Structure 1
Amino acid sequence: MIKRSLLEPLRQALAESPAVCLLGPRQVGKTTLALDLAEPLGGLYLDLESEQDLAKLQEPEAYLSMHMDHLVILDEVHRLPGLFPALRGLIDRARRSDRRVGLYLLLGSASLDLLGQSGESLAGRLRFLEMSPLSVIEPTGASTERLWLRGGFPESLLAASDALSLRWRRDFIRTYLERDVPQFGPRIPAETLRRFWTMLAHRQGAPLNVAELARNIGVDAKTAGGYVDLLVDLLLARRVPSWHANVGKRLVKSPRLYWRDSGMLHALLGIPDMESLLAHPVVGASWEGFAIENLIDSAPEGTQAYYYRTSGGAEIDLLLGLPDGQQWAVEVKRSMAPRPERGFYAGCEDVGVSRRFVVYPGDEHFPLPHGVEAISLPGLATRLRLSAPTVAAG
């Protein structure tokens, strides 16, 4: 079993809060992680996609009152929207009896419903954590190249062959289109949404132009914007906003949109293996998105992620605003001899960054001119993870 890097943060959150909500796309490993954590505690697990478990919660307050001494795990909690007011009462009752932390672990496959439901009912009682697919700094036993090709969903990454991995990802996408999307949003024809997702895959990392997307699939801009919002809310895509400040430059302000899992991107584009990926026009954008997602996932809690681009050509692929006030600029290169573009240096001067990095596919770490460091993706991801402040137990 792979020890997930989120295990200790999740354990810490449950030691500090009465309820924790773990968000992440389906099949990312939320249930496995929750059961791994709860097993030594004798926790109670309820799957709200099971009719039997749903039946137990017809009177949620009465049923859960019988299990106040255990951690209760509620999987796919969006299936029971009326549960949150009951949880609020149970948490407040537990507080009065001095049981203040580690009561409920909620698992969800999307942020939109959960955030709306919990905002009022569980304000001040619920902490959110987000679980991403496996990253380059988790002990998977897979190479960075394999992780890039197959993506970080465990079933895909650990498949016996590239062909089996691709088949799993295609089934995963079909399940989302035909079953999961209708649960969370308006009824959208699966074929229309597939065309839209594939179109976005071809535009990996490009500035988001909703009006153009709308024209290409024959819908209005509001509808196309809703499709993008749904994809982001399902935690399958990431919008990276433009860094904005008064620097006296004309800034490109449209966000960039990335598929968060490189394996899903490749499945949508029909890329079966590494040779096909390296020959595909999306290879540079795919590597960039893979690096950006891994770095954002590895950064300390509270880090702000942006890109920077001006009409004059200054550009930073990823600008990380760390909680301690530092700003790290990252350029991503798919080259064993990485050299930053002139626009990267200009962008760093415009923003006034603290550190400058070029991420490349090699293993060595070495200096480049003008204070730039060439570093591997696992190397920079590890450095970001270690930069997180430690919280003393007690």
Structure 2
Amino acid sequence: MIERRLLREVLLALDEVPAVALLGPRQAGKTTLALEVAARRPAVYLDLESEVDRAKLSDPALYLSAHEDKLVILDEVQRAPELFRTLRGLIDQGRRRGQGTGRFLVLGSASIELLRQSSESLAGRIRYLELGPLDAGEVGAGRLQALWLRGGFPLSLLAASDAASLRWRLDFIRTYLERDIPQLGPRIPAETLRRFWTMLAHQQGALLNAAALARALAVDGKTVARYLDLLVDLLLVRRLPPWSHNVGKRLVKSPKVYVRDSGLVHALLGIADHEALLAHPVAGASWEGMVIESLLAAAPAGTQASFFRTAAGAEIDLLLELPSHAAPWAVEIKRSSAPKLERGFYAGLQTVQPERAWVVYAGNERFALAPGVEALPLPEAVRLLADRDPGE
């Protein structure tokens, strides 16, 4: 059992608000985390993909009212978005009787429809938390290389072999394309969406060029935007925006795009083992994506992430704007165990004037790399962010 960092946040949220939505891609560990919560307080668990459990909710108000003294966990809630109106009524009734917090924990794959339904029906009554796959801080230094190759989905990371892990990821991709996405509403040919997803993997960490993607798929730019929005909403792809402060420079305005799980990047590209990964051109970009996901998973709630790049060549891989901090933290990402800094990074520091500057690299020691710049192993960088009081 790998302890999830988000467990503490879920428990805290349930003590503060009536409903908590735990969103994330399939197989990221939402159900396991919810059952861990259920082990700590009286709870009833319903899986809305189960016909038996759905039958219990034929009259949802009646059933849920009978369990008002327990936390009700509703898994795969996107299968029954009509429940949100019922939840609103029960929450409001409970508030009038002094039962104001910890009523419902809803789990679901993030989707436009799910967020729209819940935000309309439960505005002011629900808190959203995102659970991604396992990250570097959760798996520890000993599993870091496996995390990079296999990604953070628990069944992929903990598979008996690299080959078994790859088979699991290929099945995962196929299931998403052929079953899960059609059930969420969009009518997109599975093969077309797979081609698009694979193109994004080939261009991991690159600036979005929607026109080139549209030409390759023989569709228009609006269709590419729709495909990208879908994968972003499902928490499978990250669109990292450029830093947009007015600093009198010609800043790059296109976002960078990452397939969020490095294991899915490698599966889409047919990379089976570490030897093949190290020889592949995507190696540096997939490492960078894994680092970004791990750091953002550990960062305090409300942290804003971006990258910095100018037309003149100044560049910083990741800027973290933490709550209550006047200046961002600058992060450069290196796969090498002996990192070196380029002129563009120093130029970026001069423009951004960050509060802190880190180089997160693949080694094991923390040391000063340059005046005002620290080199940090990834697990330590994650730990420092996770332990950080947002107000410090």
For the aligned pair, the TM-score class normalised by the smaller chain equals over 0.9
Partner of 1:126: 126
Tell me which residue corresponds to 2:332: 331
Q: Distance in 1 between matches of 2:178 and 2:389?
A: 39
Report the CA distance between 1:139 and its aligned residue. Answer: 4.3
Q: Which residue of 2 aligns with 1:208?
A: 208
1:295-351 deviations in Å (ceiling 9; x for gaps): 111111110000000000000000000112141101111112111111111111111
Per-residue CA deviations over 1:14-53 (Å, capped at 9, x if unaligned) read: 0111100000100000001101111232311111111221
Deviations 1:180-214 (A, max 9, x none): 11122421111111111111100001111112111
Please state how far the C-alpha of 1:246 moved relative to its aligned partner. 1.3
Please state how far the C-alpha of 1:114 moved relative to its aligned partner: 2.0
CA distance in 1 between counterparts of 2:126 and 2:143 reads 36
- Report the AA paired with residue 347 of structure 1: G
Percent of aligned pairs with the same residue? 64
1:170 is aligned to 2:175: no
Residue 355 (structure 1) aligns with: 356
Q: Which amino acid aligns with 1:218?
A: A
Name the structure 2 match of 1:368: 369
Aligned residue in 2 for 1:196 = 196
Cα contact 2:14–2:20 (8 A) shared by 1: yes
Q: Does 1:26 pair with 2:26?
A: yes
Q: After superposition, what is the alpha-carbon deviation per residue over 1:94-126, rounded to whole angstroms, capped at 9, x for unaligned?
A: 111111111000001114222100112111100
Query: How far apart, in 1, do the equivalents of 2:336 and 2:2 lie?
Result: 30
Gaps of 5+ in 1: none
Q: Which residue of 1 aligns with 2:277?
A: 277
Conservation of the 8 A alpha-carbon contact between 2:322 and 2:390: no
SS of equivalent residue, structure 1 residue 138: helix
Alignment of 1:268-307 (within 5 A): 268-307=268-307
Letter in 1 for 2:206: A
Cα distance, 1:293 vs structure 2 = 1.0
For 1:350 and 1:111, the matched residues in 2 are separated by: 37
SS in 1 for 2:330: strand
Aligned mates of 1:104, 1:259 — CA distance in 2: 31
Aligned to 2:240: 240
- Contact 2:358–2:373 (CA under 8 A) maintained in structure 1: yes
> In the alignment, is the contact (CA less than 8 A) between 2:111 and 2:184 conserved in 1?
no
Helix, strand or coil at the partner of 1:86: helix
What is the one-letter code of the residue matched to 1:248? Answer: G
Quick check: 1:333–1:359 contact (8 Å CA) kept in 2?
yes
Name the CA shift for 1:131/1:161 in 2 (closer, same or farther; >3 Å): same
**Distance between the aligned counterparts of 2:332 and 2:67, measured in 1?**
51
Provide structure 2 residue ranges, at least 5 long, that are not aligned to the other structure.
Answer: none
Cα drift, residue 141 of structure 1:
8.0
- Write out the 4+ residue segments of structure 1 that deviate beyond 6 Å after TM superposition: none
TM-score between the two structures when normalised by the length of structure 1:
0.97
The answer (yes or no) to whether the contact 1:21–1:127 under 8 Å persists in 2 is yes
- Tell me how far apart the structure 1 counterparts of residues 245 and 9 of structure 2 sit (CA, whole Å): 33
* Secondary structure class of the residue paired with 1:4: coil
Cα 1:5–1:333 shift into 2, 3 Å: same
Cα–Cα, structure 1 residues 142 and 53, in superposed 2: closer, same or farther, change >3 Å?
farther
Partner of 1:143 in structure 2? Answer: 143
TM-score normalised per structure 2: 0.97
User: After alignment, is 145-154 or 47-56 more displaced?
Assistant: 47-56
Alpha-carbon distance in 1 for matches of 2:162, 2:204: 22
Aligned residues of 1:23 and 1:111 also touching (Cα < 8 A):
no
Residue matched to 1:78: 78
1:7 — aligned with what?
7
Structure 1 range deviating more: 309-318 or 348-357? 348-357
